[in-house]
Amino acid sequence: MQDAAATAGLEAELVHPGALGAADIAAWRSLREAEPAFASPLLSVDFAIAVGGVRQDARVAIYRRGGRTIGFLAHHRRPGGFARPIGAPFCDYHALISDRDAALGAAEALQAARLGALRLTGLIDPFDSFGDAVTTRMPAHRIVLASTSEAYLAALWAGSGNRLKNYRRYRRSLEKAAGPLRVVGDDRDAEAFECLIGWKREQFERTGLHDFLSVPWAAGLMRGLFADRNETFGGQMISLYAGGRLVAAHFGARQGGWFHPWISAFDPDLKAHSPGTVHQVEAIAAMTGLGLHTYDLGPGEDHWKQPFTTGDETIGAGLAVAPNFAGALARSSERFWALPPLRDAALVGRVRNRLDQIAALELTLGGRMQGAAYALTTQRRRQWAA
């Protein structure tokens, strides 16, 4: 499917990611290589193509001026001119991939692509294309090696002697309970992968969170990336075994030396021995040998992330709108949540974020209604789990 529109000399061609031509793929890669802020695997054309393999509503707006390609916006087109970043909610980072000198603004880009609004959840915006559309900023947690894994861990331990003592205690305890530890940095064992999926789904059930692995397209994306790996992009699973038994693992996307896990879980029967903490330290220790320079834990307030990271990045959230009728409707809806009775309520904010994530995952009205009902009925369980 293709469509085209133009505004102020800007042309936007809309294609499904699977229909991108070789020249456009090369142009996307060239723009990313020119801007270090776009280095995450989640901002790659390869990720967009992978998502397109499981989502028919995936689109890429290809922007041109005077016949020159100046940018790309990968998104999901929803009814009413509303768009979400490609792969939401797994796109911990998203961006308008563009040329620094293109001066391509978000409102102009949306208008040209016949969109009314774009939900921003983890925006990377080195050229300030989105301006005041960003209403919230948050840290994204990254482990970035300046030299070697050994040097990184040495600096980490130097910052807190108690961390090293605790890690050694956890490690001894885990080995005593389950056996000698072994890291598999590129685990291709399908049974181990399904074990990780099972642990994560059990965690969702226990905590009352929405089970994204029950959604067919999301599960298909994960399994597809696990099975389909090449030299430039694919899924990777970093696993920790004890005495031949899988005890913890991370799975996510990797491109070059950058790894971005989405799924992290451990054997709940070994929770008392902190296998998640031991796994993270062992994974850092393995980074140099695996050719990794960045282990991207993404955004979030998870208490376990911050102690391991030193290369945090600031990302943005909000709503970008176009100067059209659909944009005006989206802006009005956004203002409802900013009303005094709602804007200061932490619970309202959490519920809204949860409903937004469900809307990104579930593609049918029935699925969204069922997910929303589950989110509201399990709110107390999530508070207890936290």
pLDDT in tens, the chain (386 residues): 444 444 558 999 999 999 999 999 999 999 999 999 999 999 999 999 999 999 999 999 999 999 999 999 999 998 888 999 999 989 999 999 999 899 899 999 999 999 999 999 999 999 999 999 999 999 999 999 999 999 999 999 997 778 889 999 999 999 999 999 999 999 999 999 999 999 999 998 888 888 889 899 999 999 999 998 777 899 999 999 999 999 999 999 999 999 999 999 999 999 999 999 999 999 999 999 999 999 999 997 667 788 888 777 899 999 999 988 676 776 766 655 455 554 555 555 566 676 777 777 777 767 766 766 666 666 555 444 44
Residue type for position 263: I
> Per this entry, what is the length of the chain?
386
Distances (CA, A) of 88 to 50, 299, 361: 13, 14, 7
Q: Which of 268, 263, 242, 267 is nearest to 252 (CA)?
A: 263
Question: What tokens were used for 249?
Answer: 């693992």
- 181-184 vs 134-144, strand pairing mode: unpaired
H-helix segments, 179-274: 190-207, 216-227
Beta bridge partners of 118: 83, 320
Instruction: Give the H or E element holding residue 258.
Output: strand 258-266
Nearest to 352 by CA among 335, 371, 337, 369: 337
Question: What structural domains does the chain harbor?
Answer: 2-139+314-338 (3.40.630), 146-292 (3.40.630)
Assess contact for 101 and 273: CB atoms under 8 A: no
pTM: 0.89
**Sequence-distant (≥ 6) Cβ neighbours of residue 160 within 8 angstroms:** 307
Helix axes 216-227, 190-207, angle to 10 degrees: 150
The first and second tokens of residue 165, run together, are 């003592």
Distances (CA, A) of 22 to 18, 29, 207, 257, 334: 11, 11, 45, 24, 39
* 156, amino acid identity: L
